[in-house]
Chains A and B, each alone.
Chain A
């Protein structure tokens, strides 16, 4: 069975991501230790809290994560986990991220209610990406966020979602996949996406 390390770098709901990964046939552990991450087949960087605090908590293990990604270990970033993978963020000042996705994390535009909370649709630009296998275009998934990653490389964008503007809602770069929405809270579609990630890890 595929073993997934859920990186524990803050405080919040990690139980749901663990349960949902197990529901799609993987074994998962919640860890903030080097060994836990190194010994897993894949890494999930979940999304809890604010950028700055998360980055601080991640400080000691971010090099390990980057090394593992370099060695082709699959990684899935969720929500804030996606944002941490960007070059930089403007949330609470200016902060450098892990720079896997080129671009900046910026606030959603004026004129819409912030945070963006609720079910919104995926406009799938790359239907062949393994993450969205058997996920119909215009599927609903659950979002909760105030910032989004403005990707510089259109190539990285699997899907976009409209809220005030079209922002990237799922991204990929080689073995790194990421969603701005919460697949663990997106019902059947979300479980399909997590299942796709587990399949991607197996392949």
Chain B
């Protein structure tokens, strides 16, 4: 039976892991390759690297990390952040990554999803979507938008690009349906409302999206406990859960999370 996947995410800048990662057993906790190997040994099902390097000129550092990672771990890994063109995708995949994820480039030019999935295959094109709730009192305030009831009131979901810095007045639910039509093989959902809160994932958005699209969904943002991850995979119906700080700070190991999931009848690879 297909398992649910647990995916640690490493944020990188100039080839180094940012966001404090604390593991005593690591010689160099800033080295993305060493960390990826560490998570691989803990039982991670995949690894996601998110490159937040501002300068496009420093892409060669990223490629070096990709190549070293491919030589060190034998599980799939995805690279996202700053990918703009087919050339960028080509160099990352040829460097040894299995998938790439795109957000801003796809919103600016949706054709890049269609072209890249045709050339490289849908299986390696992950559409990353940063969503943020826009609360409304009445549906008439948001014509054409997908308005749903949440515990905090009615809202629709807008999308954000440039690492959350710029809001785009587009319905995230419809955008997700569109990227699937264009050829995206998976959708990675991050929530700007829930990111860093450790209060759990945006379950309303996830479960609705899961009903609407045919491709696997990776839930991101908000994990504080193994129970949050369980909720994302059950109530949120996500196929995979991505988390960063819960693993980086050693609050829980990947194995502990997986054991918890197994106890609650979620199929995982142990």
A residues at B contact (CB < 8 Å): 11-16, 19-20, 23, 48-50, 53, 113-121, 140, 142-146, 162-163, 182, 184-188, 190-191
Contacts and interface: CB of A to CB of B under 8 A. Distances in A.
B239 A50 contact: no
Interface in B112-128: 118-124
A103 to B, nearest CB: 22
Interface in B1-46: 1-5, 40, 45
B269 interface: yes
B158 to A, nearest CB: 26
B76 A185 contact: yes
Nearest to B43: A187
Nearest to A54: B121
B131 to A, nearest CB: 20
Most buried by A among B4, B123, B239: B123
Interface residues of B, number: 35
Interface stretch (B90-98, B139-147, B249-257): B90-98
Nearest to B41: A187
B75 A15 contact: no
Nearest to B124: A12
17 contacts: A11-B90, A11-B93, A12-B93, A12-B121, A12-B124, A16-B74, A16-B96, A19-B70, A19-B96, A23-B74, A49-B121, A50-B121, A117-B186, A117-B239, A119-B2, A162-B1, A191-B74
A13 B100 CA distance: 11
A121 B267 CA distance: 11
Nearest to B99: A144
B195 interface: no
Q: Select the residue from B74, B96, B240 with max chain A CB neighbours within 10 A.
A: B74
Interface of B: 1-5, 40, 45, 67, 70-71, 74-76, 90, 93-98, 118-124, 185-186, 214-216, 239-240, 269
Given A115-B185, A119-B5, A142 B215 contact: no
Given A11-B93, A117-B185, A48 B121 contact: yes
Interface centre among B1, B2, B4, B216 (most CB of A within 10 A): B2
Nearest to A120: B2
A19 B71 contact: yes
Interface of B: prevailing SS: loop
Among B121, B124, B239, max chain A CB count under 10 A is at: B121
Contacts of A118: 2-5, 45, 216, 239-240
Nearest to B45: A119
Contacts of B186: 115, 117
Contacts of B67: 15
Contacts of A146: 122-123
A113 B214 contact: yes
Contact of A16 (B3, B90, B98, B120): B98
A48 B120 CA distance: 7
A61 B211 CA distance: 44
A95 B60 CA distance: 39
Contact of A13 (B2, B4, B96): B96
Nearest 10 Cβ contacts at the A-B interface? A15-B96, A144-B123, A140-B269, A119-B269, A120-B2, A119-B3, A185-B76, A49-B121, A15-B70, A19-B71
Given A12-B94, A115-B185, A185-B98, 5 more contacts: A12-B120, A118-B2, A119-B2, A186-B74, A187-B75
Contacts of A185: 74-76, 98
B93 A13 contact: yes
Given A19-B96, A50-B118, A115 B123 contact: yes
